[in-house]
């Protein structure tokens, strides 16, 4: 019996994701034994600082990628939004799963919707992308850094008396916290992160057998959208922690792509949508990024030291 070892982070959400892939493999290939190997990443270990201050790309992926390259695991399962656009030499994304829910969720024990938040409300999020877009709508909000896994953030909301927190809807739903969601933000307010809601299987480029085994997990539409989104992020030289959002939606042979670059205080925000043929997903992502940079996004990212 062939054995496959999946690399995963240790949080409940990461384990849910890895077990989801494990379960799909076991259904498809009853004769393959699948086990998980858990690894702590730098992003998991440093919890007392905002992600944007820790620096570096691959905060939640590097240790897993090292394990793949050393042959300790056959592949790793990641949240696609955590993955840098440039992968280590010898690795590739073999599979992108069907997007579950790309939205950002409003969670509060005090208020039923974002519109109900009082003046100067305390809102927790670890994301500069969310912070910038929320402040563009509501300059009065007090946006405070919120780190930790999903359960930790929900607990901190109570313990630290936040009026609300903003989390990825997919993570809440996957862990059974859908009842905590009061509202999913419309894309008029918050454009999601690159790949938000999708999972990625990262493996060795030269491992043809594993790539063939996991190929059935690929979702055509999500992969096309993610290709455009990641091309956009590559062009703006962004990692996971930049005030940038982009979302692609595939309708038949057409790709609708919306991108945003915003200043951290929300004062400046540049947003644009384009429609293109799905065959041109990568070029579409690059050209939309170029347009937003030229509209004023370049100055924002240069001031933040995020663009060379």
Four-point Cα dihedral 63, 67, 70, 73, nearest 10: -170
Residue 67: name the closest of 82, 44, 88 by CA.
88
- Residue 148: phi and psi, rounded to 5, are 110, 170
Provide the 10 A C-beta neighbour count for residue 244.
28
- Residue where the block lists tokens 């190997």: 37
Do 51 and 130 contact (CB within 8 A), yes or no?
no
d(CA 224, CA 218): 11
Q: Which residues contact 254 (CB under 8 A, 6 or more apart)?
A: 275, 276, 277, 278
* Run of H or E including 44: helix 42-45
Strand partners, 245: 260
Q: What one-character-per-residue DSSP string does 174-224 give?
A: HTT-GGGEEEEPPTTT-PPPTTTT-EEEEEETT-HHHHHHHGGG--HHHHH
Provide the 10 A C-beta neighbour count for residue 268.
17
| 82 in active site | yes
Of 66, 74, 82, 109, the active-site residue reads 82
Provide the 10 A C-beta neighbour count for residue 140.
10
Angle at the Cα of 298 from the Cα atoms of 297 and 301, rounded to 5 degrees: 85
d(CA 17, CA 21): 7
Angle at the Cα of 295 from the Cα atoms of 293 and 301, rounded to 5 degrees: 40
> Which residue numbers are catalytic?
82
């Amino acid at each position: 019996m062939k054995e496959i070892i999946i690399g995963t982070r240790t949080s409940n959400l990461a384990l849910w994701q890895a077990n989801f892939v494990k379960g799909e493999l076991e259904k498809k290939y009853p004769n393959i034994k699948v086990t998980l190997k858990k690894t702590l990443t730098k992003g998991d270990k440093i919890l007392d600082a905002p992600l944007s201050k820790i620096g570096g790309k691959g905060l939640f992926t590097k240790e897993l990628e090292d394990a793949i390259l050393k042959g300790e695991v056959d592949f790793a399962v990641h949240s696609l939004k955590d993955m840098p656009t440039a992968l280590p030499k010898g690795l590739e994304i073999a599979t992108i799963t069907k997007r579950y829910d790309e939205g950002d969720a409003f969670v509060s024990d005090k208020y039923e919707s974002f519109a109900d938040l009082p003046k100067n409300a305390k809102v927790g999020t670890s994301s500069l992308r969310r912070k910038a877009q929320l402040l563009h709508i509501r300059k009065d909000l007090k946006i405070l850094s919120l780190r930790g896994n999903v359960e930790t953030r929900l607990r901190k909301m109570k313990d630290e008396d936040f009026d609300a927190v903003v989390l990825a809807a997919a993570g809440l739903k996957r862990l059974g916290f859908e009842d905590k969601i009061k509202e999913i933000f419309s894309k008029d307010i918050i454009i999601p992160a690159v790949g938000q809601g999708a999972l990625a299987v990262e493996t060795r480029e030269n491992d043809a057998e594993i790539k063939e085994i996991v190929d059935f997990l690929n979702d055509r539409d999500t992969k096309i959208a993610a290709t455009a989104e990641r091309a956009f992020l590559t062009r703006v030289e962004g990692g996971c922690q930049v005030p940038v959002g982009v979302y692609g939606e595939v309708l038949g042979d057409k790709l609708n792509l919306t991108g945003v670059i915003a200043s951290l205080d929300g004062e400046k925000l540049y947003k644009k949508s384009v429609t293109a043929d799905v065959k041109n997903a990568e070029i579409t992502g690059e050209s939309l990024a170029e347009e937003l940079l030229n509209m004023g996004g370049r100055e924002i990212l240069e001031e933040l030291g995020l663009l060379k």
